[in-house]
Amino acid sequence: MEFDYDIIVVGGGHAGCEAAAAAARMGSKVLLISMNMQTIAQMSCNPAMGGVAKGQIVREIDALGGYSGIVSDRSAIQFRMLNRSKGPAMWSPRTQNDRMMFAALWRQMLEETEGVHFWQDSVVELLMAEAGARVVGVRTAMGTRFRSRAVVLTTGTFLNGLMHVGEKQQKGGRSGEHASYGISEQLMAMGFSTGRMKTGTPPRIDGRSLDYTKMEEQKGDERPGKFSFTDTRPLEKQRSCWITYTNEVVHDLLRTGFDRSPMYNGSIKGLGPRYCPSIEDKINRFAERDRHQIFVEPEGWNTVEMYINGFSTSLPQDVQYMALRQIPGFENARMFRPGYAIEYDYFPPTQLRPSLETKWVGGLYFAGQINGTTGYEEAACQGLLAGANAHLAIHDRPPMVLGRSEAYMGVLIDDLINKGTDEPYRMFTSRAEYRILLRQDNADIRLSEIARKNGLISEERHARVEQKQKNVDSITKYIQQHAAEPEEVNPVLLEYEEACINQKVKWSSLLLRPGIGLRELSAASEPLSAFLAQFPEEDSEQSEIQWKYRSYIEREEEQARKMSNLDHIFMKPDFDYQSIRALSHEGREKLSSMRPESLGQAARLSGVSPADISILMVYLNK
């Protein structure tokens, strides 16, 4: 056996898998420790990836060489691009996935990644250096000691996990799996602050017992896309999802169990996700609504199991069952397992550096739900950055820190470490002030150079991205130089209720019309159609978006440049904020506590006012 590694990753969920893969791709010898080797990359909740803002994160992970996009494409059973009716900054890809295939493909890709090693056990202790607060390995429940130069904790919901179904409680990190003990207690003894959070999952139903004629069918896109910028193939066939609704009878039945609900009788102490509430929370918070939407989602290609999205609950099993059977289409429903809630320990992420290394223990990184986030995508991107930064640190290289104008991943990390969170953090497009720059379609162009520089992708893959940019520039140049004749384009303009032209007009000018795109214009012109046929469709779409929204893009780029100037004014770790009496009392407290690494980070701290930043700038200039 081998006992010495560069990096140990604790936990085999989405964060742990991306962390192990990233560090190994960069050249580290990695040990991935999982309590159960059969549940690596398991989709514990809904069998889907992406969605609003989350889809952008998956594409960013893929642009940085991560595996989530590839696995999602290869295990997809449905693809939809959400928010197509809105601007491209809001377009968000989403896949419905085969749960078992997703986990199997992830494990296969990890096993095929040179440098990734595996061990099945529970980690109960971090090994610390004799001198100084630095982690040097882990000890497992079986007593095995593994040494390493860095440790990435991706413990998910397993730290002191407690599951609730009505008044029944069971210790565990997930249905059928034990909780993890020891790490939380050790970290608290070291001085880390901690808290409790709660998440939940809905019942699983036998799809053969449902009446789909009483539901609305939700098909995938006619021309399905994909997540990965690699050569994964779009879906050729898809499975439908279904939509139904609760009603007042369902709500009344659910209310009969409120006195036995752990959410309302005080059994659950942790806060649950605000934007993914349980069904009992919905009918309590939105009492004026007489129905709530329920999505019936297949768990895979070859299973009858259905995930009941929108019905997350921890109510008693009998109440769940009675209420479910009053939903249209569920009259004869058979339950595979009830929904449940789970409470677990998390560590407020204000205790982390931008690299996701802890401030108090060198070489120790946190990623995923241990940082207070919720969602596969949020966990996966943290894992990738934590694994990459652990590798960079042990080779004395600067960390890979993404700015808020560079990636949704940068927004997420910046929010976590500067603002913290006391409820499960979920990414939304509204959290990003530069969302026109951070579109899903340009993630590869935004991030490939960063990925290449840090050894996350190959030179060959980077060259493909450079070629894409050249293609986009060629298309843009063509539409600026060539013009449309009135007789060829007016029939198309009339079809889309656009004003006709009476003289030659550049294609670039016509493209600025809201209801017209390159696909529509190419149908009117054989030369334009022939020119565009040389390029992949996604390159044409990229050119179209950049041209249509160029004034907005330029404005956001200018705003980002101004803000980035503050990020390049660095603060000393031992800076004495208390000595600057002109700062507000709250500003002095927050700055002294958080120890920002730059003036830009200081400006984003909750409680630090613009006036405080102005005072700091004057002081620094002196």
- C-alpha torsion sign, points 242, 247, 249, 255: positive
Chain segment 122-178, per-residue pLDDT in tens: 999 999 998 779 999 999 999 999 999 999 999 999 999 999 998 898 998 888 889
Please tell us whether the domain made up of 568-621 is placed in CATH 1.10.150.570: yes
pLDDT the model gives residue 66: 98
Chain segment 211-254, per-residue pLDDT in tens: 999 999 999 999 999 999 999 999 999 999 999 999 999 999 99
Backbone phi and psi for residue 253, each to the nearest 5 degrees, phi listed first = -65, -40
Q: How many Cβ atoms from other residues are within 10 Å of residue 123's Cβ?
A: 25
Rounded to whole angstroms, the Cα distance separating 473 from 550 reads 13
pLDDT the model gives residue 569: 87
| pLDDT of 312 above 90 | yes
pTM, two decimals, is 0.92
pLDDT the model gives residue 574: 87
Strand order in the sheet with 162-165: 168-171, 162-165, 340-346, 195-201
204-339 topology per CATH: Elongation Factor Tu (Ef-tu); domain 3 (2.40.30)
Rounded to whole angstroms, the Cα distance separating 142 from 579 reads 51
> Domain locations in the chain?
204-339, 459-553, 568-621
Q: Which amino acid, residue 189? A: A
Rounded to whole angstroms, the Cα distance separating 237 from 77 reads 8
Chain segment 107-130, per-residue pLDDT in tens: 999 999 999 999 999 999 999 998
| pLDDT of 354 above 90 | yes
459-553 topology per CATH: Arc Repressor Mutant, subunit A (1.10.10)
Tokens of 62: 């893929």
Q: How many helices (H) and strands (E) does the chain have?
A: 21, 22
